[in-house]
Amino acid sequence: MIYPKIDDLTAVVPSKYALVIVASQRARELNDYHRQLGEGEFIAEKQYAPPMVESRSKNYLTMALEEVAADKIAWETTES
């Protein structure tokens, strides 16, 4: 993976494990967003946000990582 660089991503989300969770959840939301735009075959319980950055990629995980690098994703840690 060339872009976004891991250093840029860990500046926003300090833990690589948290980065994986945040990016994967957003990638699923992007997938659901694009499915809800389809021909009405997918009925969503809730509305999903469109992509928040312009991306040349069609890959949802890449789009999610670009959103994390641009600090467009809000996330929080939970203490156990």
Domain locations along the chain? 6-69
DSSP one-letter code for 50? P
- The per-residue pLDDT for range 31-57, each reduced to its tens digit, is 988 888 875 555 556 778 899 999 999
Q: pTM to 2 decimals? A: 0.84
Question: Does residue 14 have a cis peptide bond before it, meaning omega lies within 30 degrees of 0?
Answer: no
Q: Residue 4, preceding bond cis, omega within 30 degrees?
A: yes
CA R_g for the chain: 13
Q: How far apart are CA 41 and CA 12, in angstroms?
A: 36
Cβ atoms within 10 Å of 68's Cβ, excluding its own: 22
pLDDT (0 to 100) of residue 67: 96
Say how far apart CA 80 and CA 27 lie, in whole Å.
Answer: 26
